[in-house]
Structures are given as structure tokens and as C-alpha cells.
Amino acid sequence: MVKRYLKLISLEEARHLLTTSFPPPAMTEKVPVTQSLGRVVAVPVYAKYSVPEVNISAMDGIAVRSRDTIGATDRKPVTLEHLSRVNTGNIVPPEFDAVVMIEDTWEVGDRFQIRKSAAPWQHVRPAGEDIREGRLVLPRGHEIRAFDIGALATYGVTSIDARAADVGIIPTGTELVPLGVRPGPGQVVESNTIMAQVFLSAMGSRCTRYPIVPDDPDLIAESLERAVRENDMVIISAGSSAGTRDFTEGVIRSLGELIFHGVAVKPGKPVMLGKIDNKPVLGLPGFPLAAQSMLREFAAPLLESWGLAPPHRHTVKVRLAQAVTSDLGFDEFVPVFVGRIRETCWGTPHARGAGVQMATVKANAYVHVPPLAEGFEAGEEIDVFLTTDPGSIDRTLILSGTLDPALEELANLVHDRGLFIHASTTGNIGALMALKRRSCHAASLSLPALPVMSECRFLMQHLPATGLVLIHIADVEQGIVSQDGITIEDLPKVRWINTRKDTSMRMVFDSLLSERGIEPATINGYHHEVSGPQAVAAAVRNGFADAGMSSSGIARACGLRFVPVAHEHLELAFHHDMLTDPRIATLLPRVNSPEFRHILGKIGGYGTGETGKIRLLGADRTIIDLRPDGIAQ
């Protein structure tokens, strides 16, 4: 047995230690006002002069003495002796106290007549109306926005003193290669410190990335000493190898003090904090998602406690489409995808390994599960933190079901129309369930090529008494994928990998076996089930199995050989009332476009004869063909 962590402390305790052990460095940076967006004011900004500096006219017109205008009416116009023609922004001479709009004056020879009295100060912008000389424009701590910069310039402010902090970031790990170098087997591109630099610079810190340090305690110590000397805070980013993890703690202890190592948080448990020369040294775990949450939950709060601009945190209330599970005693952060179906925001958790960065890329939010919760139930309403513009939620179509490469191409097509497609792999049954509870806009179904009525029966079994629209995407070739061209005859000799019972691939495979009188029990791996054809191809490619059922498109994408067996229909299904949804309305003409058929043709393996065909499956099990715009023919 090996020692891992002496003792895990809670996230709350760790953050308390972090934000109370290090007083803010007394650093400011003079920033030209034109480059101050997002920076935080360190020294209060005062107006250099009044704006306007003298009384000016707010309108085009004539400056008058209000007392001269008393009694003017349509029937008794007043002709003015004392006046001055002014335009908007012109000085109102001191002897005048009001402006009459040019529309309300009549020129009579070289004089002006008015037919309404003018109230004192009317249409005059008094000196200092906007701000007076010496008055506070921006207090300390204010985060500068684009429109603040306009005001600052108006008030004569050319630069501001912004809060600043120098952050040194050290990547460690012998397995790391720098960005731009193609990693060999077992190597990875050093990307965590790039991410840290981008993330922390946006808060207004100045980040320096040091060269990659291999797994050598002396070299780590040398780099760390230098970084501590040159910065207010140091982040030491661990590689995933055992070496760096173990060395960092020792090096921190040798140069200063270790405050903690190991926090009850997921991902991010191996995070550590040290103090060297009274400066914080944060040890970042190597798994990318762990590094992300530690940047967000530790590095950012520390810089925020120093007065830098925190990342904006917008929450949105969602209903969970799937349960989120979490370990009791741990603070857990899970990427979530948020989409809106009619009035409800649905959140779909993307809980996968801490090494799967695509989970965060595809997500637009994350959820925090506190230590005393074991997770959240499906259907529960919870708050999640958004990581994108909330407007993008309404521009996103949520798809659930089979992920075929044809759908990725469709997604690319509709992006040009401002529509995003977010797809999650759930299989046919999962997709129909999502459709039933309306946690997706549309289900992508792969249906075995069986007579129409049984297709209908299959759907009706799961979605009784509802009008469902089916749009045909393509016919997809199904067959056996392998490294070496395995056919149905080879079955008894190979390691097989199967898909779940509700998939079209499985239905076809099972009927193939029964046709040929092959006993499933004789097939090595028949009970090894993965989610779908993508996972089958991955397993075969990675050598975990010799063969399985997949599609020709997926086989090509994975560089596998393909022996065709049958074909399936790839269909999008959605509730009839969604025909009026703007996202569906944008989607339909793209599916039914020559462009889309052309793309599928180029990829190969797709039958596009019926692509774009729309049918309505009525609640009474009747099938009606619809026109491309969704109207009954």
C-alpha cells in the first residue's frame, strides 16, 4: 500500500486558509484608459474639470432671459430684443437663463418672436450637470466597462491606476511537450499553464509562463525559487506522472511551508498550497478538469481577495435531465449542458473522467454539489453557473439519441443560420424518453429498415397518443467493423463487442443470428454491451475487441474495415407542436437541401433518396406525408 494524502481538508477550510494567509500585494499598474476594459480601479478617479464646464444649450434655438418671455401666447406673441442664437452644445452667455427651441421661434426681420413663455433654466445644461470638477468618477474597486471608458475620456482622464498582481506559472512533468510540438505516445501537450494564463490574465493579473521543468526535484526547486522571487503568486502545474506529484510537495517543504495537500473536492483532490517568502504557491493537479476547477475555485478567489476582477458568475435555474451523483463529504463540480425547451431550462450533466476536456468544451454551465449532498435527482430544480452568453441557450437545438457523423455535418450547415445543435448519445429509448418528458427538442433515432407500420408501432409503444413528426435524414449502411475485414462467417473465432438491446444495430445483429441459427451464447463477448456504434468502433480500434456492429461512416472515420450487412433509417423525431419552434423551422430546409445531400454523397455510405422527407405519425397511428415546410400535403 502507498501513502496518498495525509488528511483531506474541506474546500471551505482550504479557501479560508488561502484567502486569509496572504495579504494583497501593494501593486498597481498605470493603464491607458483606452486599454482599461475589465480592469479594477486601484486609486479613485476624480473628474479633472466640470462637464459641461459652463452652461450650454441642450437644443438648437435661441438663448433668452426667461423674464423677457413672461406672458407670451399665440394671441400675444413677444418679440425679443435680447437673445443669442445657439446650437446644441454652444455656450449660453451668462446674461441668459433659458433656451427656446428653434421650432418654437418665428423670425421677424432680424428679430425672433415667441408665442410661449420660457421657464428659467429651460433647455440649458448647467455647468457641472454631468459631473463637477474634483468629484468622484470611479471609486476604488470599480471594474471598468466599455461605457465607463467613454465617460472617463469625456472627463479628461487619460490613464488609470489599476490593481495588478504578477503570477508565475510553472509547468512540470517529463511527459510534457510544448504547444506546437506533436506529442509522441505517452506524451501530452503542456496546456494547463496556457489555460491558467488566459484565465487569470482576464482577471487583470500579469502572468508569466516558465519553461517546462522535467521530473527533477532540483530543477523544480530552482524554477520555483526564481518564480517566487519574480511574482506575487506562483502556480506550479503538475504533470500527470507520479514523479512531479511527489516532488512538488517536497520542494515546497524545502523552500518554505506546506499549508495543505489534498482537498475534499472533485475534480481537484491533489491540490496543494504552500507559502514561500510569504507568497502563495498553489500546486495545480495535472488532470485538465481538475486544473480547471482549481483555477476557478482557488486561484481566482485568491486574486479576488487581492481586489482583482472576479470571473462573472451568472446562475440559471435548470431542471436536471439526468441525475448527478456525488460522494458525500466532497465538493463536486460537474459540467452541465443547459438548453431551453419551451419555458423550461433543462440541464444535462456531462460527468466523465477528469481527463475529458471535451466535456467542458461541450458544456455551457457547471453545477456545484455541496459536500453534504450525495447529488441531485433527475427532474430536480437546481442552480447552475453559466459559462456562456445566456442568449446562446435560445439559439441551441437539443438533440438526444444516436450520434451519426451525418448529424455533425448537419450541425455545421445550420451554424451558418445562427443555430447550434447540442447532441447527446442516449440510444433510441433514452431519446424517446427525453422526447416524452420534453427534455430535448428532437430525438435522433436509428431505426432498423423494417416496414413502416412496425416502425410506427415501435415509436408508439414509447410515446402513446401524441402526434410525432419524423424527418428522414438518411439511410445508413450497417455492418461489421474490424481491423482485418472480419465477416459474419468468422464470428465464432473473434472477440465480439455488442451494443445495447434498444439499438438498431443490436436488433439487426440479433435477427441475423436467429436467421443463421447461431446461438448467442457461442459468441465470445456477446454480453459485452457498449452504448452504440461509436463506442463499438472505438473499442475495436483500441484493441479491446476484434469486431462489432457499426456504420460505414463511423468505420471510415475510425480507419476500420467495414463489411455491410443491412441498413437503417436515421430519422429526427419531434412533437408536432414544435414545427413552429424557430429552431426546428431553421433546421427543416437545411435537411431538405441539395447542399446537405451533396455533403452526404461526398462522405459516402449514405442513401439520400428520401432525405428531407417529412411524415406525421398521428396519435391514431395514421401516417401522413407532410410538405417540406411541415404542412400536410
**Interactions with a copy of itself, residue window 141-160 (CB under 8 A):** 141, 143, 145-156, 158
Interaction pattern, residues 410-439, with a copy of itself; x per rule: CB under 8 A: -xx--xx-x-x-------------------
Is position 132 an interface residue for a copy of itself (rule: CB under 8 A)? yes
Please, what is the Cα angle at 15 between 19 and 324, to 5 degrees?
150
Stretch that binds a copy of itself, among 7-15, 320-328, 352-360, 434-442 (CB under 8 A): 352-360
Residues with Cβ < 8 Å from 481, sequence gap 6 or more? 536, 537, 540, 547, 548, 549, 550, 554, 555, 558, 560, 561, 562
| Cβ 435 to a copy of itself shortest distance, Å | 23
Give the nearer residue to a copy of itself in terms of CB position, either 311 or 630: 311
| Cβ 279 to a copy of itself shortest distance, Å | 21
Between residue 287 and residue 316, which ones bind a copy of itself under the rule CB under 8 A?
288, 291-292, 309-310, 312-315
Is position 23 an interface residue for a copy of itself (rule: CB under 8 A)? no
Between residue 239 and residue 258, which ones bind a copy of itself under the rule CB under 8 A?
239-243
Between residue 533 and residue 562, which ones bind a copy of itself under the rule CB under 8 A?
538-539, 541-544, 557-558
Beta bridge partners of 548: 481, 497
Is position 591 an interface residue for a copy of itself (rule: CB under 8 A)? no
Stretch that binds a copy of itself, among 131-139, 249-257, 580-588, 597-605 (CB under 8 A): 131-139
Beta pairing, strands 124-125 & 98-101: unpaired
What distance in Å separates the CA atoms of residue 117 and residue 106, rounded to the nearest whole number?
14
Number of residues binding to a copy of itself, judged by CB under 8 A: 120
In 3D, which of 495, 488, 429, 491 has the Cα closest to residue 462?
Answer: 429
| Cβ 170 to a copy of itself shortest distance, Å | 16
The order of strands in the sheet holding 279-284 is 206-209, 166-171, 233-237, 279-284, 272-276, 257-261
| Cβ 38 to a copy of itself shortest distance, Å | 9
Is position 353 an interface residue for a copy of itself (rule: CB under 8 A)? yes
Between residue 167 and residue 186, which ones bind a copy of itself under the rule CB under 8 A?
175, 179-180, 182-183, 185-186
Give the nearer residue to a copy of itself in terms of CB position, either 193 or 468: 193
Is position 108 an interface residue for a copy of itself (rule: CB under 8 A)? no
Residues with Cβ < 8 Å from 257, sequence gap 6 or more? 274, 275, 276
Contact with a copy of itself (CB under 8 A) among 10, 90, 325, 524: 90
Give the nearer residue to a copy of itself in terms of CB position, either 179 or 631: 179
In 3D, which of 322, 503, 459 has the Cα closest to residue 398?
Answer: 322
For residue 526, the SS3 value is coil
Phi, psi at 73, each rounded to 5°: -140, 175
- Phi-psi region for residue 427, left (φ > 0), alpha (ψ -120 to 50) or beta? left
Q: How far is the CA of 313 from the CAs of 146, 203, 213, 309, 390, in angstroms?
A: 19, 13, 34, 12, 12
Give the nearer residue to a copy of itself in terms of CB position, either 142 or 437: 142
Contact with a copy of itself (CB under 8 A) among 21, 113, 325, 387: 387
Residue 313 and residue 328 in contact, taking contact as beta carbons nearer than 8 Å: no
Helix (H) or strand (E) holding 470: strand 468-482
| Cβ 442 to a copy of itself shortest distance, Å | 17
Contact with a copy of itself (CB under 8 A) among 14, 18, 56, 281: 56
| Cβ 447 to a copy of itself shortest distance, Å | 25
Give the nearer residue to a copy of itself in terms of CB position, either 277 or 484: 484
Q: Is the dihedral of CA 83, 85, 87, 91 positive or negative?
A: negative
Strand ranges in 59-201 using DSSP code E only, listed in sequence order? 61-64, 78-80, 84-86, 98-101, 105-108, 111-114, 124-125, 136-138, 159-163, 166-171, 176-177, 188-189
Please, what is the Cα angle at 211 between 207 and 213, to 5 degrees?
120
The residue type at 342: R
Is position 65 an interface residue for a copy of itself (rule: CB under 8 A)? no
Please, what is the Cα angle at 386 between 383 and 389, to 5 degrees?
140
Phi, psi at 34, each rounded to 5°: -70, -15
Contact with a copy of itself (CB under 8 A) among 13, 16, 30, 53: 53
| Cβ 266 to a copy of itself shortest distance, Å | 14
Give the nearer residue to a copy of itself in terms of CB position, either 69 or 459: 69
Is position 135 an interface residue for a copy of itself (rule: CB under 8 A)? yes
What distance in Å separates the CA atoms of residue 471 and residue 54, rounded to the nearest whole number?
69
Is position 125 an interface residue for a copy of itself (rule: CB under 8 A)? yes
For residue 111, the SS3 value is strand
| Cβ 183 to a copy of itself shortest distance, Å | 7
Between residue 558 and residue 577, which ones bind a copy of itself under the rule CB under 8 A?
558
Give the nearer residue to a copy of itself in terms of CB position, either 32 or 517: 32
Is position 483 an interface residue for a copy of itself (rule: CB under 8 A)? no
Q: What is the DSSP letter of 281?
A: E
Between residue 263 and residue 282, which ones bind a copy of itself under the rule CB under 8 A?
none
Contact with a copy of itself (CB under 8 A) among 139, 343, 580, 633: 139
